[in-house]
Amino acid sequence: MTFDRWTRRATLFIAALTVLLSGCTTYVTTQVTAFSDWSGSDATRTYAFTRADDQQNNLELSTYERLVGNELAAHAFRQVDTSQAHYLVGLSYGIRSDMVTVAQPVYYNPWPAPYWGRGAFDPWGPWGPWGPAPMAYMNESYPIFTHLLGVRITERVSGKEVYNVTARNSGGESSLVRAMPYLARSALADFPLGNGVVHTVRFPLDKNSGAGNEVGAGSATPASAPAAQ
C-alpha cells in the first residue's frame, strides 16, 4: 500500500470523527435578518404588544412576549398601556420539520478475533479506515427543526413600520418553547441593525437547560465573521 493511500484513509477517518463530534456544539448559532428605518430616541421608547383578535388569550404568545420584552428592556424600551405607547410590537413565530439524509462511514470487519486481533469493529482490520479494503457508507436519516421568530415594530399613531427583524436557527431541538430564548436574544442582540443587514449571532449553550442544540442563555458572541450575521 502506498503512502498516499494510507494518508487518504487516515484523512477520511479523521473527517468522519469530526462529523460525529460536531453535534456536541457548545454554541447556538442564529441567523438574523433586519429591515430598518429606525430613528427613535430613548425618550420615545415606550411600547405595547399588539395581537390579532384570535390571539388575545394566547398563553404561548404571552410567554414569548415576556422573553422579547426582557430583551427590549435592555435597549431602554419601556412597556406601557397601548394608548400611551409610541410603538407597537408584534410577534410572529413558527417551527418547521424536515428530514436530512447523511452518508455515514461504516467500519466493519467480518473476520472476528483473533484473526485481526481486535474483534469485529476494528479500525486496523481490512474494512477499517486504515485497512486495505475500501470504506463503506450507510445513509442515515434524522429530523432537523427550523425555529423562527419575527419582531415587527411600528409607530402607533402613523402605523409606519420602523423595524422588522427575523431570527432563525436549526437543529435537533423539536420544541419551539425551548428555542425561543435564543431567538429572542439573537433578534435584538445588536439593536438597531441597519436596513437589509444579515448577520449571525452565537450564544454559549446552557447545558443545564436540557435543550439540546437549540436552547440556552448567555451573552452574545460574534460568529467567525464580524456582525455586519
**pLDDT for 63-76, tens place per residue?**
999 999 999 999 99
Model pTM score: 0.68
Domain spans of the chain? Answer: 27-103+142-222
Kindly tell me the sign of the dihedral angle through the C-alpha atoms of 149, 153, 159, 161: negative
Low-confidence ranges of the chain (pLDDT < 70): 1-25, 106-136, 207-229
Domain 27-103+142-222, classified CATH 3.30.160, yes or no: yes
pLDDT 10s digits, 166-189: 999 998 888 999 999 999 999 999
What CA–CA distance (Å, rounded) separates 186 from 172? 19
Question: Does an H or E element contain 18, and which?
Answer: helix 3-22
By C-alpha distance, which of 74, 24, 48 is closest to 184? 74
> Given this model, what pLDDT does residue 100 score?
73
